[in-house]
Amino acid sequence: MSKRLRSSEVCADCSAQDPCWASINRGILICDECCSVHRSLGRHISQVRHLKHTPWPPTLLQMVETLYNNGANSIWEHSLLDPASVMSGRRKANPQDKVHPNKAEFIKAKYQMLAFVHRLPCRDDDSVTAKDLSKQLHSSVRTGNLETCLRLLSLGAQANFFHPEKGNTPLHVAAKAGQILQAELLAVYGADPGTQDSNGKTPVDYARQGGHHDLAERLVEIQYELTDRLAFYLCGRKPDHKNGQHFIIPQMADSSLDLSELAKAAKKKLQSLSNHLFEELAMDVYDEVDRRETDAVWLATQNHSTLVTEKTVVPFLPVNPEYSSTRNQGRQKLARFNAHEFATLVIDILSDAKRRQQGNSVTGSKENVELILKAINSRHNSENQDIDQPDYDSVASDEDTDLETNAAKASRQKSLDSDLSDGPVTAQEYMQVKNALMASEVKIQQLMKVNINLSDELRIMQKKASKLEKQNSMPESDYDNPTPSLELDEPGSGRKGRQRSVIWQGEGSIPENTDTDAAPSSTLPSTEDVIRKTEQITKNIQELLRAAQENKHDSYIPCSERIHVAVTEMAALFPKKPRSELVRTSLRLLTSSAYRLQSECKKTLPVEPCPTTDIQLVTQQVIQCAYDIAKAAKQLVTITTKENNN
């Protein structure tokens, strides 16, 4: 790690002295307390890394420090720099503020809501704006001005934009110009070093062609970042890419444990996943590795005499609203894997990633990733048949997290060896690891038993709520079952959105329209009517988000009811059977998200004997539902405007 540039650094969020964490995709340095909030938001919002206790690629650290020193924080606090903000009472947090609610609310507004960033003038066609911004990015990366490029990315420029006239991407331009820090920034925002230009060349090719050998080697590392990180987690080494070794596959010391039929079935299902689903699973496991490693650093750097503080604990991966609720549930289940199970999953992913890159095919299948996780999980559970698996996971306590972290460290000692190294770990070492795991497993089993009854009671309450919804508030339409939503990008998120489906997860499903006699209609309402209803929906959503920001949880239900009424009124403008598939998809997303919103908001009711609700998790789901509603309404405005103008 390079030396810190100067000693006068302050936290970007609260101005505390000597920050020891960095948010890579935001280009800022932050203190311990603010970092705890960043971690709770998830890596899709902020990618945190400790400045001293985490290994850094030198140029990545240089990129963050360059952004920090050139005022990257002003991008995220643009409107706060306006003197009018001081007059209106809007201010950033300070070191003396409490983490909750003061610092947490400010950080969420700053990075999750993007409340203070510069807003471009409204335009009818957002794609044109994104294209213009991406062209500016394409041109800017040939220079050394990182802050300009981060600003463009924060406004919605696409790191993987393929310039139609130039026939290449911004990463090709940066590589050709030898701009290694620009390449680091683009990669953080999702640029792919393996992308070919119109001549069939990759950014790596252009870096080598221009004599930028350090850049070329770094681009290869970035290309294998996911599998390198997984291998390093298990055995503390990375492949030697310079000499053509791109994968290390660690081996379990006691491989006999993985020869059961369940283990074989799990591996077979993993191999039969489509490339897209396999990539999603690998990305989720990468995020879980990051969470576990950051946890270890977090615990090592805290004052253990005062460990129970108001700092946020992250016991499992936070909800990513760009992903379906099914995928979010699968991601959170990864935290339940003990060290041995998780190491097995990581090894299986590394093995299959190598197989797929080498082009070895396996018969395709549409198995859900969730089945893979269940199959691997069941290797352990089959040895404990008296323990029933609840549908919903209990939340790990601070003590469990500490135990799991120790087990993970022990597991790393157990899994030291690769297919290129010096043999398996001894039986004695394995028994030491097994003993370390037992303490964690006993605690988890106790929590699972307690959770069984609570989960059953929760499901009963959800069924009752669903029945009431069916009886009291079902509109007569054919678009109440959600279907896969459109792919989306969120400016400033640091990662392309991959939300492929928004699935109704309540116990009672929303029924199909029974009016089969209605004829498909191509008639659409007037643009003015749709805009008016959208404005009403937006106003109600803003009210809900304000309640969330101010922790007024008792306002969730009345807000959700007003949103539901506004959504119903908007849906009533459209024919019962729209001819346009795009209209039907948007209406399904609109109405199903409104139902999900009501269901989530009802979880704030203090109903006995329902277990204590995790308000933070509910709030994240509420925000996701509100986002889906606003997105669907915007799609309908765009569609009706376009159709009515034709």
- Full 3-state SS string of 634-645: HHHHHHHHHHHH
The residue with greater pLDDT, 430 or 173, is: 173
When the pLDDT of each residue in the chain is averaged and rounded to a whole number, the result is 76
Structure-derived torsion over alpha carbons of residues 311, 411, 353, 197, reported in degrees to the nearest 10? 40
Q: Name the region of 361 (left: φ>0; alpha: ψ -120 to 50; beta: rest).
A: beta
Distance CA 502, CA 506 (A): 12
The residue with greater pLDDT, 222 or 585, is: 222
Partners of 49 in the β-ladder:
22
Name the 3-class secondary structure at 543.
Answer: helix
pLDDT reported for residue 476: 38
pLDDT-wise least confident of 148-157, 439-448, 576-585: 439-448
Q: Does position 404 have pLDDT exceeding 90, yes or no?
A: no
pLDDT-wise least confident of 216-230, 377-391, 461-475, 530-544: 377-391
Distance CA 188, CA 159 (A): 9
**pLDDT, average across residues 55-66:** 97
Q: Does position 421 have pLDDT exceeding 60, yes or no?
A: no
**pLDDT, average across residues 37-42:** 95
Q: How far is CA 541 from CA 106, 551, 622, 627, in A?
A: 19, 15, 10, 9
**pLDDT, average across residues 26-40:** 96
pLDDT reported for residue 81: 82
**pLDDT, average across residues 108-129:** 80
DSSP at 56: -
* Among 245, 246, 248, 186, CA closest to 215: 186
* Among 625, 327, 288, 270, CA closest to 498: 327
Q: CB neighbours (10 Å) of residue 152?
A: 25
pLDDT reported for residue 618: 78
Contact at 8 Å (CB) between 271 and 371? Answer: no
pLDDT reported for residue 113: 92
DSSP at 29: E
**pLDDT, average across residues 248-256:** 72
Q: 383: which 2 tokens?
A: 């040895």
pLDDT-wise least confident of 65-79, 323-337, 555-569, 601-615: 601-615
Q: Does position 12 have pLDDT exceeding 90, yes or no?
A: yes
Provide the CA 590 distance to its chain's centre, in angstroms: 22
pLDDT-wise least confident of 148-152, 510-514, 524-528, 596-600: 510-514
**pLDDT, average across residues 517-529:** 78
The residue with greater pLDDT, 127 or 25, is: 25
| Domains of the chain, earliest start first | 21-112 (1.10.220.150), 126-223 (1.25.40.20), 242-304+311-454 (no CATH), 473-495+520-645 (1.20.120.330)
Distance CA 136, CA 632 (A): 29
**pLDDT, average across residues 579-603:** 87
Q: How far apart are the first and last CA of the chain?
A: 59
The residue with greater pLDDT, 321 or 380, is: 321
pTM, whole model, 2 decimals?
0.59
pLDDT reported for residue 128: 66
Q: Confidence class of residue 625 from pLDDT cuts 50, 70 and 90?
A: confident
Q: Does position 327 have pLDDT exceeding 80, yes or no?
A: yes
Q: Does position 306 have pLDDT exceeding 50, yes or no?
A: no
pLDDT reported for residue 215: 98
Q: Does position 264 have pLDDT exceeding 90, yes or no?
A: no
**Residue entry with tokens 């309402």:** 525
Q: CB neighbours (10 Å) of residue 126?
A: 14
pLDDT reported for residue 614: 67
In percent, how much of the chain has pLDDT > 70?
67
Q: Confidence class of residue 408 from pLDDT cuts 50, 70 and 90?
A: very low
pLDDT reported for residue 141: 98
pLDDT reported for residue 478: 36
**pLDDT, average across residues 94-117:** 93
Contact at 8 Å (CB) between 33 and 16? Answer: yes
pLDDT reported for residue 365: 41
Q: Does position 504 have pLDDT exceeding 50, yes or no?
A: no
